[in-house]
Chains A and B, each alone.
Chain A
Amino acid sequence: MPTTYFDHIAATPVRPEVFEAMRPFLTAKFGNPQSLHAAGREALAAVDAAREEVAALVGASASEIYFTASGSEANNFAVKGMALGQQARGRHIVVSAIEHSSVLNAVKALERSGFSSTLVPVDREGRVDPADVEKALTKETVLVSVMTANSEVGTIQPVAEIGAVCRARNVLFHTDAVAAAGNIPVDVKSLGVDGLSLAGDQFYGPQGSAALYVRKGARILPLIDGGIQEGGRRGGTENVPGIVGLGRAAALARAEMPARTAALIPLRDRLLDELPRRIEHVLVTGSRTARLPHHASFCVEFVEGEGMLLFLDMNGIAVSSGSACTSKSLKASHVLLAMGYDHATAQGSLVFSLIDGTTAADVEKVLEAFPPIVGRLRAMSPLYTTYLKERGS
Chain B
Amino acid sequence: MYSDKVMDHFANPRNVGVMADADGVGQVGNPVCGDMMTFYVKVKDDRLDDVKFQTFGCGAAIAVSSMVSEMAKGKTLDEAMAITNDLVAEELGGLPKNKMHCSNLGADALHEAIKNYRDRQAGLPAEAPAAVDLHEHESCACPYCDTALEEEDKTFCRACRVEFEECPACGGITKKGDAACVHCGKPLAGKG
> What's the least CB distance linking B176 to chain A, in Å?
13
Contact, CB under 8 Å: B10 / A327: no
Contacts of A323 in B (CB 8 A): 34, 58
The verdict on A391 contacting chain B, using a C-beta distance below 8 Å, is no
Chain A, 93-116, contact with B by CB distance < 8 Å: what is the 0/1 string? Answer: 000000001000100100110000
Contacts of A311 in B (CB 8 A): 11
Cα distance, A310 to B61, chains bound together (Å): 13
Contact, CB under 8 Å: B54 / A330: no
Candidates A105, A108, A347, A382; contact of B27 at CB < 8 Å = A382
Contact, CB under 8 Å: A331 / B141: yes
Contact, CB under 8 Å: B34 / A105: no
Residue among A327, A330, A344 facing the most chain B CB atoms (10 A cut-off): A330
Chain B, 2-44, contact with A by CB distance < 8 Å: what is the 0/1 string? Answer: 0000010011010010100000000100011111111000000
Cα distance, A342 to B10, chains bound together (Å): 25
Task: Report the interface size for chain A: residues with CB under 8 A from the other chain.
Answer: 33
Q: For chain A, residues 335 to 385, give those with C-beta under 8 angstroms from any C-beta of chain B.
A: 342-344, 347, 379-383, 385
Q: Check A381/B32 contact, CB under 8 A, given A111-B182, A112-B178, A330-B140.
A: no
> What's the least CB distance linking A362 to chain B, in Å?
23
The verdict on B79 contacting chain A, using a C-beta distance below 8 Å, is no
Contact, CB under 8 Å: B56 / A330: no
Q: Name which of B82-90, B95-103, B114-122 contacts chain A.
A: B95-103
Q: For chain B, residues 138 to 192, give those with C-beta under 8 angstroms from any C-beta of chain A.
A: 140-148, 175, 178, 182
Cα distance, A263 to B54, chains bound together (Å): 42
Contact, CB under 8 Å: B31 / A343: yes
The verdict on A25 contacting chain B, using a C-beta distance below 8 Å, is no
Q: Check A382/B38 contact, CB under 8 A, given A310-B59, A330-B102.
A: yes
Contact, CB under 8 Å: A329 / B58: no
The verdict on A139 contacting chain B, using a C-beta distance below 8 Å, is no
> What's the least CB distance linking A86 to chain B, in Å?
22
The verdict on B62 contacting chain A, using a C-beta distance below 8 Å, is yes
Contact, CB under 8 Å: A330 / B148: yes
Cα distance, A332 to B35, chains bound together (Å): 11
Cα distance, A353 to B145, chains bound together (Å): 26
Q: Check A324/B55 contact, CB under 8 A, given A330-B140, A380-B13.
A: no
Candidates B13, B34, B140, B141; contact of A304 at CB < 8 Å = B34
The verdict on A213 contacting chain B, using a C-beta distance below 8 Å, is no
Contact, CB under 8 Å: B54 / A385: yes
The verdict on A203 contacting chain B, using a C-beta distance below 8 Å, is no
Cα distance, A381 to B10, chains bound together (Å): 13
Contacts of B60 in A (CB 8 A): 325
Contact, CB under 8 Å: A329 / B54: no
Contacts of B18 in A (CB 8 A): 385
The verdict on A240 contacting chain B, using a C-beta distance below 8 Å, is no
Q: Which residue of A lies closest to B57 (CB)?
A: A304
Cα distance, A380 to B37, chains bound together (Å): 10
Cα distance, A111 to B174, chains bound together (Å): 13
Q: Check A307/B34 contact, CB under 8 A, given A328-B148, A329-B146, A380-B16.
A: no
Contact, CB under 8 Å: A330 / B31: no
- 3 closest A-B pairs by beta carbon, nearest first, are A325-B58, A329-B146, A344-B31
Interface residue ranges, B against A (CB under 8 Å): 7, 10-11, 13, 16, 18, 27, 31-38, 54-62, 98-99, 101-103, 140-148, 175, 178, 182
Interface residue ranges, A against B (CB under 8 Å): 101, 105, 108, 111-112, 302-304, 306-307, 310-311, 314, 323-332, 342-344, 347, 379-383, 385
Apart from A310-B59, A329-B148, A344-B31, list 5 A-B contacts with CB within 8 A: A304-B58, A307-B10, A326-B58, A329-B147, A344-B56
Supply 19 A–B pairs (Cβ within 8 Å), ascending by A.
A105-B144, A306-B59, A310-B7, A311-B11, A314-B11, A323-B34, A325-B61, A325-B99, A325-B102, A329-B141, A330-B102, A331-B146, A343-B32, A380-B13, A380-B55, A380-B62, A381-B55, A382-B37, A383-B31
